[in-house]
Structure 1
Amino acid sequence: MAMQVKRFFAADMRQAMNRVKEELGADAAILSTRRLAGGVELTAALDYSAQPLPARANPELEAELRKTSQKILSAKTDFEQRAQIAAGGRDRQLLDSVLEHTAEVARLRPDENPAQSRSAADQQELAQMRSELMGLRELIELQMGNMGWQGLRQQQPGQAALWRKLQQMGLPADVISSLMKKIPQDLQPRQAWKMVLALLARSVQTPKDEPVMQGGVIALVGPAGMGKTTTLAKLAARYVLEHGAQNIAIVSMDSYRIGAQEQLKTLGRILNVPVSHVEAGQSLEQALLPLAKKRIVLVDTAGLPASDPQLTLQLDNLTSRKLPIRNYLVLAATSQAQVLKAAWHAYKRCGLAGCIITKLDEAVSMGEVLGMAIGQGLAVAYTTDGPKIPDDIQVSRSHQLVSRAVRMQNPDEPGEEVMAELYAGVCQKARHVV
């Protein structure tokens, strides 16, 4: 039978692999992978017999690629024979060896090669080989996740059912994996579900006392669109209703949005609370000096991009050793996991006392933002779920957060491909930890 060779283009490796299976079947062999603008290119063949690799201009990397290809073929054969990742430790060791090898080759730079000179064509070839190696690594991790999920589903159906439920809540793979390690395999489904929810509640940190009622200087930080100004208004109104307007003040560091300034001025007039702004060339410390006798000062900040130099200056103001400021990262439950992670990376340098979860009324799930808080050890101080001031803000309690996450659970059960991709993330993180 003649060999069939075909190229596939897709947004990511998982979609490309699915197209290969649909058109060529599960017996197709992957010949090469390449990352392109907007996706990946994958070349696959049916009835393929491995041929010797042609000579290339880079003998050192060529030898490394040949070794890697042999290990990949060996790993693929071993996976197919075992069909269960949980059957033993050899699969784990073999995959680690292959991935470590590909990572080592992929990290090589042109100046690390013994050759004294390298042409532009050689450098381009090196970049292409590195891209191919990284594509192979991603492919193996995807296959590893699929094998792992199928093994779990067949050998431990109860555990697999819990995985599905937690995925429907939107929780990330690392949080699910951490919870599942603590669940005995012999529990009945209802008992296991109660136990995993209890463990999830314990994983969520919440403050013992309401932050605003403790007094001091509290700043709300985070990217634009997370709801910082509206949340600050709710906190201010909440405090005034409880303790009056004599001992509270509001300071704005946001000199970029006129609308935000007007909103705070209006709030100040309604609540009879003084509102001041940090002027150009003025530090936050200077702006706070006239408010030293106030029991609580709420600071609104500008939602600046991580690449904006002004963000560094703003965070430096918030990390002053002379000011005991508690900074709370405001995270919208409507944001994607990558956006939440980027926000944490951008603002963690100012020292975060915790986070505030906003826009729960607009979110389809809260597993992503809850997983972010758990993974980074951020105490969830408040949640907001509507525009009403101050009604739509609540002091967080861990069991209430988990109960709400369950109520917002996606009713549609995830497919096998989704679960395999989720499990692939676990395998990838486990490899980096070892």
Structure 2
Amino acid sequence: MQVKRFFAADMRQAMKLVRDELGADAAIIGTRRVAGGVELTAALDYQAPAAPVQANPALEAELRKTQAKIASARAELAYREASEAPKDRQLFANESLLAPELPATPVKLERPAPAPAPEAPAPSIDPTALEQMRSELHGLRELLEMQLGSMAWSQLQSRRPQQAGLWRRLQRMGLPAELANGLLERVSNIHEPRQAWRMLLAHLAQSIQTPKEEPLEEGGVIALVGPAGMGKTTTLAKLAARYVLKYGAQNVALVTMDSFRIGAQEQLRTLGRILDVPVVQVDPSQSLLQALAPLARKRVVLVDTAGLPANDPALRLQLDALANRSIRAKNYLVLAATSQSQVLKAAYHGYKRCGLAGCIITKVDEAVSLGEALGLAISQHLPVAYLADGPRIPEDLQVPRGHQLVSRAVSLQTPEEPSEEAMADMLAGLYQGAVRRVG
């Protein structure tokens, strides 16, 4: 047996070192946290545990009989202990029959009260040891999840190679694991690969919600919200130009709530001069309702908001103003397709308090995949109102449909096949998510 220790910054790097040097047949026999990372002990040619022995009916029957006898003996012992004291009281009470000349006096047996046990001193908990134990448990859990993901992916490739191929294609599109798993379950009975792929894309297109009518056609107050850098102001310019070219400038107005970013208000004023539409600035001391009062006769009012950090108190005030029922604003979350999945999720959870009517996906021309943004829109039931795929105003703004978004996502999929480690990590994350939901 070859035993070797590996040191790395985290568990994933340590596992990669084990695979590269000892191969996939190596077994992990120990892990522990050390200064600067983790220490992982692995062994090659580690003897696997013997296969489980088939159940023996006769042995199981004898075991059940033994368990029944033990339970019966415990019950009989408890009954004897409970009936012992009454028998003693009956024995002393019958003394009047043995000595009739003496008056029968009942004797009450009093058992001495048990002495109170001395209170044990509360064990002192060492915070350092507790934190070390928590860290070791976390590392062990991470290791188990990685091993489960690797085992699940190996079994999937060997038993269901068609499903494994579909998993790879969905990963190239950037779709989240939970969404991909649900789509694959819906085509699990289709054995022809091309037909399964076409049906899978059809189910994906049906899962994407799009508005039945364009928001600009409906009119009203339309606010664009989202973190900084998502493209809110550029998208608002495209919406304003799109409306002016179609209906004229007399029924549209622009409102800016961004008093934090340098040049944001001047940028919107320049746009207003070009389109010949009024631009209203909301001062910090002024409410949004007051700012919108002079624009009550405008058919469409486009509101640009500030992209503030999630912990900024000004963001809460801004979202509360947009959530005011008197304004009846339709708030659209602007999501850049170039952002990572965790950034998109954080944006949704940070801005959902104002009430979201849908989302607008921007910077599609710069993105390497569209699956992350579509996955968030599907999981959170956000209709995709617009798709921005270029800098031109207003040409690079489309009202999408589900099949168009799927076609665009397929065209943007990465040409490289995902690695075996990436697929194993994906299944490990899927398993971890299922455990959290059950817990």
TM-score, normalised relative to structure 1: 0.81
Please show how residues 31-430 of structure 1 align to structure 2 within 5 Å. Answer: 31-34=30-33, 40-46=37-43, 116=122, 118=124, 122-430=126-434
CA contact (8 A) 1:169 1:410 kept: yes
Classify 1:209/1:186 alpha carbon distance in 2 versus 1 (closer, same or farther; 3 Å). closer
The Cα of 1:397 is off from its aligned counterpart by 0.7
Aligned residue type for 2:260: Y
CA contact (8 A) 1:159 1:185 kept: no
Aligned residue type for 2:15: M
Aligned residue type for 1:23: E
Does structure 1 residue 20 correspond to structure 2 residue 26?
no
Aligned residue type for 2:124: R
CA contact (8 A) 2:227 2:307 kept: yes
CA contact (8 A) 1:30 1:42 kept: no
CA contact (8 A) 1:254 1:261 kept: yes
| Cα shift readout 1:94-142 (whole Å, capped 9, x = no counterpart) | xxxxxxxxxxxxxxxxxxxx973525xx111011101111111111111
Aligned residue type for 1:9: A
Aligned residue type for 1:332: A
The Cα of 1:227 is off from its aligned counterpart by 0.2
Measured in 1, the distance between the counterparts of 2:309 and 2:430 equals: 30
The Cα of 1:47 is off from its aligned counterpart by 7.2
The Cα of 1:35 is off from its aligned counterpart by 8.3
Greater mean deviation of Cα atoms: 27-36 or 420-429: 27-36
Match of 1:432 among 412, 422, 436: 436
Off by >4 Å, runs of 4+ in structure 1: none
Partner-residue secondary structure (3-state), 1:258 = coil
Measured in 2, the distance between the counterparts of 1:149 and 1:115 equals: 51
Partner-residue secondary structure (3-state), 1:357 = strand
Tell which structure's C-alpha radius of gyration is larger.
2
| Cα shift readout 1:129-177 (whole Å, capped 9, x = no counterpart) | 0111111111111111111111111111111111111111111101100
The Cα of 1:280 is off from its aligned counterpart by 1.9
Classify 1:182/1:115 alpha carbon distance in 2 versus 1 (closer, same or farther; 3 Å). farther
CA contact (8 A) 2:29 2:43 kept: no
CA contact (8 A) 1:35 1:135 kept: no
Measured in 2, the distance between the counterparts of 1:161 and 1:415 equals: 12
Measured in 2, the distance between the counterparts of 1:361 and 1:29 equals: 45
Measured in 1, the distance between the counterparts of 2:182 and 2:121 equals: 47
Classify 1:295/1:30 alpha carbon distance in 2 versus 1 (closer, same or farther; 3 Å). farther
The Cα of 1:33 is off from its aligned counterpart by 3.7
Greater mean deviation of Cα atoms: 414-423 or 201-210: 414-423
CA contact (8 A) 1:20 1:28 kept: no
Classify 1:264/1:162 alpha carbon distance in 2 versus 1 (closer, same or farther; 3 Å). same
CA contact (8 A) 1:216 1:297 kept: yes
| Cα shift readout 1:199-244 (whole Å, capped 9, x = no counterpart) | 0001111111001110011110000000000000000110111111
The Cα of 1:412 is off from its aligned counterpart by 0.8
Measured in 1, the distance between the counterparts of 2:326 and 2:155 equals: 56
Measured in 2, the distance between the counterparts of 1:43 and 1:412 equals: 31
TM-score, normalised relative to structure 2: 0.80
Greater mean deviation of Cα atoms: 279-288 or 193-202: 279-288
Partner-residue secondary structure (3-state), 2:38 = strand
| Cα shift readout 1:305-328 (whole Å, capped 9, x = no counterpart) | 112111111111111121101110
Measured in 2, the distance between the counterparts of 1:430 and 1:349 equals: 26
Paired positions, count: 370
Measured in 1, the distance between the counterparts of 2:261 and 2:138 equals: 43
State, as a whole percentage, how many aligned pairs show the same letter. 61
